[in-house]
C-alpha cells in the first residue's frame, strides 16, 4: 500500500527528518504542511524537494478552513502531526504561542481529520491513521536513577511547553475514545542530529565553540536526558504510523542517558579531534564552559522505557550516543552553509515554495 501522508511541521527539525526518510526510504508520498515560523526551514528538505512524491503547503494548523481544503485536495491516508512550538525557554518567556499552536492547532487538526475521516468509505477508514508526535516532557521528571517513563506513567508537566503538549495528548485520546478517530501517540526523548535549529543545546554548543564563545550550561549541568538520534526517531515514527495499534501509545527513546554537562564535554572532545586549530585565545574547548543560573522549573531527569515499541513493533535505535554525536558534529562541520543561513537570517526569506 502506497500511503499519502499529510505531515505537519515538516520544515522543522524532526519533521524534516521524517519527510526525508519517507521520500528516500519508502514509496509513500508526503504533503508537508508548515506555517514556516522562525524554526521552519525549507533548506532542511531541499534534498527531496524535487521528488514527484513531495508537495509543500504553507498553512497554519490553527486555520481550520485551510486544513479542510488540504484534506479535500490531497486525500491523505495518514496524518503525522509534528507541528508544535517546542522550545522550553521560549515557552517560559511567552507561553501564549504554545497554547495557541500546541493546543488550539491540534484541536483544529483533529476536527479537520475527523470531518474528512467520516466521509471515507469503510475500507479507507480502516486504513486511515492519525499519528500524534509528542514528548517525554509531559511526564515531568524522575527521581533517582532507576525508574523510567513508561506508557502508563502519570502526566506531571513542569513547563508551559510540556503542559501544552500534555493537553494536546489528552485531546488526541479523547477524539479516539469519543469519536472513533483512529489515533496513535508517541512520546519521544531528546532528539539531536543534522538540521537541528541552533538555539538547541547540542548545535548551540558546537557553533559557540567553533566561534570561541562561552558554552552556557544551566545550573550544575547534572540534568539527565535520554538522547535519541533524529534519524532513528524518524524510522520509529514511520514504523508506528504504518504498524501501530489504534488507541495505543509508544515511547521512543535512544537508551542513552547523559547529564547535560557530559554532553557538552563530549562535544568538546570531538571538536578537539576534528578541529584542533582553535579560535584565538582558546587553549581547550572545555575552557569555554560557563555555568549560568538554572531556568525555572528545570526537570532533573528524563529516561524512556522503550521496550514496548521494541517488543510489539520490532524497533530499536541504530545509533549509540557516541556514534550519533560523531555524525552530528561532523555534519555541522561539513554543512556550514545550512547553519550560516540560519544564523544570518537569510533562510527565513524563503517562506513560500512547492516541490
Residues annotated as catalytic (active site), given as ranges: 136-137, 161
Residues 6+ apart with CB under 8 A from 63: 108
- Written as one string, the DSSP assignment of 67-132 is HHHHHHHH--SEEEE------HHHHHH-THHHIIIIIIIHHHHHHHHHHHHTTS-HHHHHH-EEEE
Class of residue 191 by CB neighbours under 10 A (exposed 0-12, middle 13-18, buried 19+)? buried
Distance CA(19)–CA(2), nearest Å, equals 15
Q: How many other β-carbons are positioned within 10 Å of the β-carbon of residue 326?
A: 16
Distance CA(270)–CA(166), nearest Å, equals 36
- Residue 149, SS3 per DSSP: strand
Residues 6+ apart with CB under 8 A from 80: 5, 6, 7, 8, 18, 131, 133, 237, 241
Distance CA(306)–CA(319), nearest Å, equals 15
Class of residue 206 by CB neighbours under 10 A (exposed 0-12, middle 13-18, buried 19+)? buried
Q: How far is CA 127 from CA 1, 16, 78, 234, 243, in A?
A: 10, 24, 8, 21, 11
Q: Is there a contact between 172 and 106 (Cβ–Cβ < 8 Å)?
A: yes
**Count of H-run helices and E-run strands, the chain:** 13, 12
Residues 6+ apart with CB under 8 A from 51: 23, 355
Amino acid at each position: 500500500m502506497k500511503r499519502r501522508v499529510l505531515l505537519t511541521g515538516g520544515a522543522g527539525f524532526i519533521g524534516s527528518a521524517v519527510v526525508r526518510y519517507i521520500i528516500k526510504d519508502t514509496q509513500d508520498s508526503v504533503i508537508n504542511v508548515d506555517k514556516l515560523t522562525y524554526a521552519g526551514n525549507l533548506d532542511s528538505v531541499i534534498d527531496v524537494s524535487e521528488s514527484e512524491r513531495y508537495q509543500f503547503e504553507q498553512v497554519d494548523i490553527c486555520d481550520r478552513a485551510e486544513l479542510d481544503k488540504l484534506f479535500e485536495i490531497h486525500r491523505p491516508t495518514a496524518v503525522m502531526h509534528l507541528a508544535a512550538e517546542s522550545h522550553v525557554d521560549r515557552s517560559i518567556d511567552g507561553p501564549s504561542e504554545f497554547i495557541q499552536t500546541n493546543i488550539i492547532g491540534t484541536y483544529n487538526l483533529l476536527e479537520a481529520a475527523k470531518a474528512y475521516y467520516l466521509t471515507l468509505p469503510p475500507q479507507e477508514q480502516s486504513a486511515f491513521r492519525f499519528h500524534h508526535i509528542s514528548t517525554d516532557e509531559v511526564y515531568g521528571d524522575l527521581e533517582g536513577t532507576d525508574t523510567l517513563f513508561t506508557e502508563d506513567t502519570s502526566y506531571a508537566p513542569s513547563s508551559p511547553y510540556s503542559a501544552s503538549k500534555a493537553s494536546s495528548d489528552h485531546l488526541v485520546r479523547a477524539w479516539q475514545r469519543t469519536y472513533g478517530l483512529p489515533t496513535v501517540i508517541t512520546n519521544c526523548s531528546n532528539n539531536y542530529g543534522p538540521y537541528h535549529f541552533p538555539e538547541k543545546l547540542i548545535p548551540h554548543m558546537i557553533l559557540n565553540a567553533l566561534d570561541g564563545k562561552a558554552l552556557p550550561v544551566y545550573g550544575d549541568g547534572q540534568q539527565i536526558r535520554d538522547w535519541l538520534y533524529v534519524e532513528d526517531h524518524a524510522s520509529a515514527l514511520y514504523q508506528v504510523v504504518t504498524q501501530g495499534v489504534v488507541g495505543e501509545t509508544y515511547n521512543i527513546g535512544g537508551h542513552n542517558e547523559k547529564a547535560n554537562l557530559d554532553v557538552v564535554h563530549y562535544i568538546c572532545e570531538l571538536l578537539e579531534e576534528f578541529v584542533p586549530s582553535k579560535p584565538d585565545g582558546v587553549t581547550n574547548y572545555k575552557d569555554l564552559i560557563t555555568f549560568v543560573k538554572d531556568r525555572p522549573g528545570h526537570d532533573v531527569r528524563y529516561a524512556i522505557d522503550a521496550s514496548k515499541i521494541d517488543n510489539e513493533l520490532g524497533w530499536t535505535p541504530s545509533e549509540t550516543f557516541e556514534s550519533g554525536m560523531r555524525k552530528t558534529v561532523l555534519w555541522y562541520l561539513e554543512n556550514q552553509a545550512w547553519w550560516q543561513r540560519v544564523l544570518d537570517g537569510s533562510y527565513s526569506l524563503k517562506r513560500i515554495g512547492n516541490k
